[in-house]
Amino acid sequence: MSTPTPVMPDHPRLRPLGIHEVTLDPGFWGDRQQLNAEEIIPHVEHWLERLGWAGNFDLAVTGGLPEGRSGREFADSEVYKLLEGMAWELGRRPNPEMEERFARLSRRVASAQEADGYLSTAFGRPGQRPRYSDLEWGHELYCYGHLIQAGVARLRTYGEDLLVRTAVAAADHVCREFGDEGDTRVCGHPEIETALAELARATGRPKYLQQAKKFVERRGHGNLGKIFLGQEYFQDDTPVRAAEILRGHAVRALYLSAGAVDVAMDTDDDGLLTAAAQQVRRTLARRTYITGGMGAQHEGESFGADFALPPDRSYSETCAGIASVQLNHRLLLATGDPLHADAVERTLFNVVAAAVAEDGHSFFYTNTLHQREAGRRPPAGEASPRAASGMRAPWFDVSCCPTNLTRTLASLAAYVATADDQGLQIHQYAQGTITTELHGEPLRLLVETDYPHHGNIQVRVEQAPQAWTLSMRIPSWADGARAWITGEAPQMVEPGMFELPRPLRAGETVTLDLPVAPRWSWADPRVDAVRGHVAVECGPLVMALESPDVAAAAPDAVEAADADVATVRADPRHPLTLTEGQVMLPVRRHRNSESQWPFPARRPQEPDDETPLAHVPMIPYHRRANRGPSTMRVWIPEVPAAIQ
């Protein structure tokens, strides 16, 4: 059966359920889908008009290029990502007024396409650089990739229209220009690979898959020109098939890997799949923050060495989080390994949810784990540098993240559940409904939960086939989870996929109880940067300590400067507690002393057991920076006595 969803391999191990099969009701994610439709998408439309990035397409028609062009080389892609976001949103919930806005924007884009399918507002006109003259940095194929993904979204949610035809014409152009007889280079920024693979799936035309395969295979052989940041930056150092781990620019690495998984799945290339899966497993084990964030380094927006995960200025680009979700989703479909659904969950709650403000009007481009100096309020009326501030900004000079959020939030339902010959698997827990068919028989489930605030998840069967198996993901952190069918005895369930022992019938309910009580977490000793520190998690949520809470917890005992998060030490020999729903961190105060040289020959004084114990509230990391400029940290230094 056909179901609109962003990733639809020809014969995956697990079939993804689409956005008509899964609906999200009000709750953590349902609310964010609503916010996306009502606030984020209009906000993005506003800025794309205001800065002229949408207007570039009009100028292409009126002859106003290159003089009047705005934005960077890849500005076109932001318009395409918005169109993709609108297409998923319109597929999720019809909206005639947004439909009209979508059609208008599609027409502007389509008008700028040239007769041979080429489409770029940045290259190819008199006064601009020639087509494909700068594949390293020009982003032409990257932009097509986003155009094609928008076209795929529209084709699946609506059917053929002008945007779909525009995307197909661009894809045909790419196949002609970059075939074996043509230009055999690749784009400096991967993205076209997944897009072409998906277009092959959506149209049934294998030539796009073959072109995607060419782009995956060509890379890694020094195909691109030398750049300052090294060939590793755009993964042109080692072929995908031969690499051991993700490296270089994080978004590039993750998009490329997603494309490789797509190609591997649809060409039955087990070698390529195994290589990609192994690289991702290794990246999760060695180059991923506790938030799921990837890409530690500001320089080159890139992965660092294994275990080099400093919380200070951790880059963790929002788009890298989104790319990791896309990649891990593909690997889940390809392998069924719940490790990848764990990664999706962690990243959605702690990167994607953290990146957008509660009002949907400002965003993080980078997601640090340690804000040492209180952030500055970015200017409301202008685009901010991508990494300058400790607070969310309305727009960026490079503004890939807000538009990427629109398509991710609109298609969130796609990550919830999958099906296979045995039955149905639930991977992500959110209030909503799952309606599909198994072997032609209807299945309808209601999921009731306010996860992740509580760990109680009830799945009520409204309709079900005779023989089927329900499986539910038990997250890797869920030690002590229990499940039971109403009326039967609870049983302990282990992390991994929990298969119900018998088919559930209509009217039956299964309850899963996940332990979301606050827990301590430590780091592998090779993450030297957080040695002697401890973190706190509640279910899938990483917690953060923020200066307003440090101040509020001891309003008169300390000076103003002592409200800084640098002035507390966690004492994990005492329990984390809950007070009125707030996680309370047991701490002892530390007063920093000043000196002319910060590397003394004596061990600095730290709080000991004579220092009174206090309790400071923590907030979920995704809610940080909502109370004005503040300092913040995820990893809290421990009192020395606790360490041994």
- Total residues contacting a copy of itself by CB under 8 A comes to 70
Helices (H), 390-521: 400-410
Binding residue for a copy of itself (CB under 8 A) from 230, 496, 503, 548? Answer: 230
Question: Concatenated DSSP letters for 275-304?
Answer: HHHHHHHHHHHHSB-TTS-B--BTGGGB--
Q: Per CB under 8 A, which region of 51-59, 249-257, 282-290, 504-512 contacts a copy of itself?
A: 282-290
635 is an interface residue for a copy of itself by CB under 8 A: yes
Q: Per CB under 8 A, which region of 120-128, 132-140, 176-184, 226-234 contacts a copy of itself?
A: 226-234
Could you tell me which of 500, 485, 330 has the C-alpha nearest to residue 426? 500
Q: Are 513 and 483 in contact (CB under 8 A)?
A: yes
Distance between CA 585 and CA 546 in Å, rounded?
12
560 is an interface residue for a copy of itself by CB under 8 A: no
Binding residue for a copy of itself (CB under 8 A) from 6, 27, 310, 455? Answer: 310
Could you tell me which of 216, 288, 222 has the C-alpha nearest to residue 250? 288
In the complex, what is the shortest distance from the CB of residue 236 to a copy of itself, in angstroms, rounded to a whole number? 15
In the complex, what is the shortest distance from the CB of residue 494 to a copy of itself, in angstroms, rounded to a whole number? 14
528 is an interface residue for a copy of itself by CB under 8 A: yes
Give me the phi and psi of 624, to 5 degrees please: -65, 165
In the complex, what is the shortest distance from the CB of residue 8 to a copy of itself, in angstroms, rounded to a whole number? 28
Spell 28-62 as b/e; 16+ CB within 10 A means b. Answer: bbbebbebbbebbbebbbebbeebebbbbbbbbee
Q: Per CB under 8 A, which region of 35-43, 384-392, 400-408, 448-456 contacts a copy of itself?
A: 384-392
494 is an interface residue for a copy of itself by CB under 8 A: no
Nearer of residues 63 and 575 to a copy of itself, judged by Cβ: 575
Binding residue for a copy of itself (CB under 8 A) from 116, 479, 488, 494? Answer: 479
Question: Concatenated DSSP letters for 93-154?
Answer: S--HHHHHHHHHHHHHHHHT--TTS---SSBSSTTSBPTTS-TTT--HHHHHHHHHHHHHHH
303 is an interface residue for a copy of itself by CB under 8 A: no
550 is an interface residue for a copy of itself by CB under 8 A: no
Binding residue for a copy of itself (CB under 8 A) from 102, 303, 477, 498? Answer: 477
Nearer of residues 126 and 598 to a copy of itself, judged by Cβ: 598
Element containing residue 1 per DSSP (H, E)? none
From residue 188, alpha-carbon distances to 98, 252, 558 in Å are 34, 8, 53
Kindly identify the residues of this chain, within the stretch 100-119, that bind a copy of itself according to CB under 8 A: none
| Strand arrangement of the beta sheet that strand 481-485 belongs to | 22-24, 432-438, 441-449, 456-463, 509-513, 481-485, 491-493
Could you tell me which of 566, 578, 77 has the C-alpha nearest to residue 319? 77
539 is an interface residue for a copy of itself by CB under 8 A: no
Kindly identify the residues of this chain, within the stretch 23-52, that bind a copy of itself according to CB under 8 A: none
Kindly identify the residues of this chain, within the stretch 311-370, that bind a copy of itself according to CB under 8 A: 311-313, 339, 342, 370
Q: Which residue has the tokens 């075939």?
A: 179
In the complex, what is the shortest distance from the CB of residue 100 to a copy of itself, in angstroms, rounded to a whole number? 37
| The two three-digit tokens of residue 145, written as one number | 């990739």
476 is an interface residue for a copy of itself by CB under 8 A: yes
Binding residue for a copy of itself (CB under 8 A) from 62, 486, 577, 592? Answer: 592
Distance between CA 530 and CA 24 in Å, rounded?
37
Binding residue for a copy of itself (CB under 8 A) from 7, 24, 148, 523? Answer: 523
Binding residue for a copy of itself (CB under 8 A) from 161, 217, 306, 462? Answer: 306
β-pairing verdict for 441-449 and 432-438: antiparallel
Element containing residue 440 per DSSP (H, E)? none
Q: Per CB under 8 A, which region of 254-262, 284-292, 443-451, 465-473 contacts a copy of itself?
A: 284-292
623 is an interface residue for a copy of itself by CB under 8 A: no
517 is an interface residue for a copy of itself by CB under 8 A: no
381 is an interface residue for a copy of itself by CB under 8 A: no
Nearer of residues 27 and 338 to a copy of itself, judged by Cβ: 338
Could you tell me which of 355, 339, 360 has the C-alpha nearest to residue 400? 355
Q: Are 410 and 37 in contact (CB under 8 A)?
A: yes
Distance between CA 8 and CA 149 in Å, rounded?
12
Could you tell me which of 583, 593, 594 has the C-alpha nearest to residue 546? 583
524 is an interface residue for a copy of itself by CB under 8 A: yes
β-pairing verdict for 533-538 and 636-637: antiparallel
Could you tell me which of 513, 522, 515 has the C-alpha nearest to residue 538? 515
Q: Per CB under 8 A, which region of 93-101, 445-453, 473-481, 579-587 contacts a copy of itself?
A: 473-481
Q: Are 102 and 41 in contact (CB under 8 A)?
A: no
In the complex, what is the shortest distance from the CB of residue 68 to a copy of itself, in angstroms, rounded to a whole number? 20
Binding residue for a copy of itself (CB under 8 A) from 307, 511, 551, 629? Answer: 307
Kindly identify the residues of this chain, within the stretch 387-446, that bind a copy of itself according to CB under 8 A: 387-388, 397
Binding residue for a copy of itself (CB under 8 A) from 159, 559, 579, 599? Answer: 599
In the complex, what is the shortest distance from the CB of residue 73 to a copy of itself, in angstroms, rounded to a whole number? 14
Q: Which residue has the tokens 């080159």?
A: 300
From residue 80, alpha-carbon distances to 57, 163, 221, 386, 400 in Å are 12, 10, 30, 20, 11
Name the DSSP letter for residue 5. Answer: -
596 is an interface residue for a copy of itself by CB under 8 A: yes
Nearer of residues 302 and 362 to a copy of itself, judged by Cβ: 302
Q: Per CB under 8 A, which region of 48-56, 74-82, 182-190, 589-597 contacts a copy of itself?
A: 589-597
Positions that interact with a copy of itself (CB under 8 A) = 228-230, 281, 284-286, 288, 290, 297-299, 304-308, 310-313, 339, 342, 370, 372-373, 385, 387-388, 397, 476-477, 479, 519-533, 535, 566, 590, 592, 594-604, 606, 635, 637, 640-641, 643-644
